[in-house]
Amino acid sequence: MTTAHQPPGSTRPGGRTARTRQAVLAAVSEELAEGGLARLTMERVAQRSGVHLATLYRRWRSVEKLVCELLSELSHEVPLPDTGSLAGDLRAHAGAIGRFYMEARNRGLVEAVLAVAARDPQVATALRDFFDERLTLAGAMVRRAVERGELPADTDPKAVVAALGAPFAYRILIVRGPVDPALAESTATAVWAAARAGAYATGDGGAGGAGEAPSDGAAPAT
């Protein structure tokens, strides 16, 4: 999310402030891992991090804001690829998303943030802004594919990226099943095929390169 939409404490200053922020986020992560969201309190975070309770309330105001910021921090563990082809980018990005959700702490954090967002409008707005920015950033791989002629010119980058993430959300939130490499592979393959077929085209522009498959194969390479 952009600085304008970030909750208190979510900017990334350097020096002592940065060390305080890292200590607090580490404490939040450890507390969530040990006791879950139900046991997370500002007092416990203050005790574990060594940061004064008044500082926590001044900068973050609530445990909900702390949890949202931790999610933003951990999202940087999902890199945005540039392999030179859409097939490669989709496969790499799906693999990174899969590895993120294979870690219990990350999966639990996402579930906790979504639960909080359902009852806190401010957290819901922050979460929406966060995911919107991630969709925009990851959309770069789709825009590059359009420029290379791999996709129709009017392909919606956010729609492609959202389709890549949707099966993971369904797996962890709806069917409550495990995330594994097979899910990442099948998702990348399906989204690549759909994008090439124009499934994410908006209909307001010309087609560009939706015919022949790219040189690295008919699906994300293994």
Question: Is the confidence at residue 211, as pLDDT, over 50?
Answer: no
Domain residue extents for the chain: 8-68, 78-196
159, two tokens: 């729609």
Measure CA 105 to chain center: 14
Rounded to the nearest 10 degrees, the angle between the axes of helix 157-169 and helix 121-138 is 120
Give the least confident one: 110-124, 161-175, 177-191: 110-124
Which string of DSSP letters, residue by residue, matches 42-110? HHHHHHHHT--HHHHHHHT-SHHHHHHHHHHHHGGGS-----SSHHHHHHHHHHHHHHHHHSHHHHHHH
Architecture per CATH, domain 78-196, reads as: Orthogonal Bundle (1.10)
pLDDT at residue 198 greater than cutoff 90 = yes
- Is the pLDDT at 63 greater than 70, yes or no? yes
Give 150-198 as a 3 state SS string: CCCCCECHHHHHHHHHHHHHHHHHHCCCCCCHHHHHHHHHHHHHHHHCC
Backbone angle region of 7, left / alpha / beta, with phi > 0 → left and psi within -120 to 50 → alpha: beta
Amino acid at 47: Q
What share of the chain in percent tops pLDDT 90? Answer: 53
Q: Contact 71/128 with Cβ under 8 angstroms?
A: no
> Looking at residues 78-84, what average pLDDT do you find?
90
Please state the rounded mean pLDDT for residues 31-53: 89
CATH class of 8-68: mainly alpha
Per-residue pLDDT for 132 more than 50?
yes
Least-confidence region, from 96-100, 173-177, 204-208: 204-208
Instruction: Confirm whether pTM is higher than 0.85.
Output: no
